[in-house]
């Protein structure tokens, strides 16, 4: 919630008031992140327990008991500037490895998500998608 308050000198100051029960921080394609982003994330995990947002020129304390981080990355072998992250950084996360979804997996997901679309059409859509990818 964003609200305006007046200071004693009658100047308007914008103050951010937030009531947060749980914060979820999602980091996508983490192994494409710049060094400064990784260092900023590391500051959340170490003794500093804070994150600096340069656009706001402000630091925020991370309350570990209320904050959850979820990060994902694609394999380095896929290229595109991906890099191996330091083991010390990766050890801060629980690592889960997943195989690519098969055609049958994708059809199951599509049918479960869109039961109103005829199965034959969904199957053809998945088949087309697989041809485009491979």
pLDDT digits (tens, 9 = 90+) for 75-126: 878 777 788 888 888 888 888 888 888 999 999 999 999 999 999 999 999 9
Residue 8 has pLDDT above 80, yes or no: no
Note whether 71 and 104 are same-domain residues: no
Note whether 71 and 13 are same-domain residues: yes
Torsions phi, psi for 111 (to 5 deg): -65, -35
Note whether 86 and 131 are same-domain residues: no
Computed over every residue of the chain, the mean pLDDT equals 80
Note whether 104 and 69 are same-domain residues: no
Identify the CA nearest to 74 among candidates 31, 25, 41.
31
Number of domains within the chain = 2
Question: Are β-strands 23-27 and 12-16 bridged in parallel, bridged antiparallel, or unpaired?
Answer: unpaired
Identify the CA nearest to 107 among candidates 122, 129, 89.
122
Note whether 45 and 110 are same-domain residues: no
The domain in which residue 44 lies consists of 2-91
Token code pair at residue 12:
């308007």
Note whether 20 and 64 are same-domain residues: yes
**Which of 3-12, 55-64, 90-99, 108-117 is predicted least confidently?**
3-12
Q: Which residues pair with 114 in a beta bridge?
A: none
Note whether 109 and 83 are same-domain residues: no
The per-residue DSSP string of 51-114 comes to EEETTTTEEEE--TTTEEEEE----GGG-TT--PPPHHHHTTS-----PPPPHHHHHHHHHHH-
Distance CA 82, CA 78 (A): 8
Note whether 77 and 131 are same-domain residues: no
| pLDDT > 70: percent of the chain | 83
User: Taking a C-beta distance cutoff of 8 angstroms, is the pair 50, 61 a contact?
Assistant: yes
Torsions phi, psi for 55 (to 5 deg): -65, -30
Residue 2 has pLDDT above 50, yes or no: no
Note whether 77 and 107 are same-domain residues: no
Note whether 79 and 103 are same-domain residues: no
């Amino acid at each position: 919630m964003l609200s305006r308050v007046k200071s004693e000198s009658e100047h308007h100051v914008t103050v951010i008031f937030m009531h947060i029960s749980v914060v979820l921080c999602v980091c996508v394609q983490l192994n494409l992140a710049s060094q400064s982003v990784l260092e900023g994330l590391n500051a959340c995990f170490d003794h500093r327990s804070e994150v600096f947002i340069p656009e706001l020129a402000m630091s925020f304390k991370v309350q570990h008991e209320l904050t959850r981080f979820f990060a994902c990355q694609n394999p380095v072998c896929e290229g595109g500037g991906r890099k191996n992250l330091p083991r010390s950084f990766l050890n801060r996360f629980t690592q889960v490895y997943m195989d690519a979804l098969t055609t049958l997996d994708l059809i199951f997901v599509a049918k479960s998500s869109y039961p109103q679309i005829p199965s034959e059409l969904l199957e053809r859509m998945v088949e087309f998608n697989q041809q485009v990818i491979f």
